């Protein structure tokens, strides 16, 4: 059996008495493109925060290439080969584009010399420029991020995550707020990243993007996993339909019977 890039094993997360994730298990194969979907409040971003180490799970284990990383501090997880983007863009507003990308390289620094060398003219800077160039974002290197348009900032955030040269990339709603053209170009962009061998785990609401990008989907609802399987059949699953559209007897006409109400009451 090949090792999975990421495996979530019976993970739960409670905030005080509130259970946000309950006993969720799934895995992401090496080189795979997996979507994590579900209605708002299902626990998708919480799951990302658990994987990246912003929160600690209440129970269960998170493994990266077979190693239990549950007790690894967040700043060290990126050094083990995972990087992420955020639902609301969290670039450093006072840093320039190139500086944000160079910050993303931090996980690959090894010594004090890496911290104490001036960055201008360094190999770090040249590398960041090349990466921005490959992603078609080299028109803006010196610009302070706060002044740039939304779509550009969204892409820069992905480039910043890539600068860590991760094997596993977690993307939290990369297409949110993008128009159709931008989403299509984002899809090609992410496919390119995938072809380099980077494993993708994507939280996304745009089902068109999910189906064309990912082969596999995990659906969460109220912190529980309700589906795991192909992205092509996810929309036919009764539990998934119920999670998105409400219980059957509220949707299908004539389904409200005495029997149904009695069944609920029982």
Residues that bind other proteins (CB under 8 A): 52-54, 74-79, 84, 86, 90, 92-96, 99, 102-104, 106-107, 109, 114-120, 124, 139-140, 142-144, 147, 149, 151-152, 160, 164
76 — phi, psi (to 5°)? -95, -15
Q: In the complex, what is the shortest distance from the CB of residue 102 to other proteins, in angstroms, rounded to a whole number?
A: 6
Q: In the complex, what is the shortest distance from the CB of residue 97 to other proteins, in angstroms, rounded to a whole number?
A: 11
In whole angstroms, what is the distance from residue 64 CA to residue 7 CA? 7
Nearer to other proteins, 93 or 238 (CB): 93
Nearer to other proteins, 101 or 240 (CB): 101
In whole angstroms, what is the distance from residue 178 CA to residue 163 CA? 22
Q: In the complex, what is the shortest distance from the CB of residue 64 to other proteins, in angstroms, rounded to a whole number?
A: 15
Given the structure tokens 């979530």, which residue do they identify?
8
Nearer to other proteins, 55 or 244 (CB): 55
Residues 6 or more apart in contact with residue 126 via CB below 8 angstroms = none
Beta bridge partners of 37: 219
C-alpha closest to that of 124 among 145, 148, 104:
104
Nearer to other proteins, 74 or 233 (CB): 74
Q: In the complex, what is the shortest distance from the CB of residue 239 to other proteins, in angstroms, rounded to a whole number?
A: 33
Q: Look at strands 4-15 and 18-29 and give their pairing.
A: antiparallel
157-184: b or e for each residue (b if 16 or more CB lie within 10 Å)? bbbbbbbbbbbbbbbbbbbbebeeebbe
Q: In the complex, what is the shortest distance from the CB of residue 250 to other proteins, in angstroms, rounded to a whole number?
A: 39
C-alpha closest to that of 24 among 218, 169, 199:
218
Per-position DSSP letters for 163-188, written without gaps between them? TT--SEEEEESTTTT--HHHHHHHHH
Q: In the complex, what is the shortest distance from the CB of residue 46 to other proteins, in angstroms, rounded to a whole number?
A: 14
Nearer to other proteins, 89 or 207 (CB): 89
Nearer to other proteins, 22 or 52 (CB): 52
């Amino acid at each position: 059996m090949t090792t999975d890039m990421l495996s979530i094993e019976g993970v739960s997360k409670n905030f005080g008495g509130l259970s946000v994730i309950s006993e969720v298990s799934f895995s992401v194969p090496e080189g795979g493109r997996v979507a994590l979907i579900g209605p708002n409040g299902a626990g998708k971003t919480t799951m990302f925060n658990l994987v990246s180490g912003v929160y600690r799970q209440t129970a269960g284990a998170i493994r990266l290439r077979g190693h239990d990383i549950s007790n690894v501090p967040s700043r060290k997880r990126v050094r083990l080969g995972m990087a992420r983007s955020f639902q609301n863009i969290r670039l450093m507003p006072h840093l320039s584009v190139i500086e944000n990308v160079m910050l993303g390289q931090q996980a690959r620094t090894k010594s004090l010399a890496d911290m104490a060398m001036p960055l201008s003219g360094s190999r770090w800077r040249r590398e960041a420029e090349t990466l921005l160039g490959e992603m078609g974002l080299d028109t803006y290197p010196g610009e302070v991020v706060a002044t740039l348009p939304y779509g550009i900032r969204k892409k820069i955030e992905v480039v910043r995550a890539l600068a860590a040269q991760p094997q596993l990339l977690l993307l939290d709603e990369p297409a949110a707020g993008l128009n159709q053209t931008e989403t299509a170009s984002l899809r090609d962009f992410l496919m390119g990243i995938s072809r380099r061998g980077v494993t993708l785990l994507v939280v996304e609401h745009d089902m068109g993007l999910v189906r064309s990008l990912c082969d596999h989907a995990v659906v969460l609802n109220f912190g529980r996993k309700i589906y795991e399987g192909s992205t092509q059949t996810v929309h036919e699953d009764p539990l998934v339909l119920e999670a998105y559209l409400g219980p059957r007897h509220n949707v299908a006409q004539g389904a409200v019977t005495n029997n149904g109400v009695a069944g609920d009451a029982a």
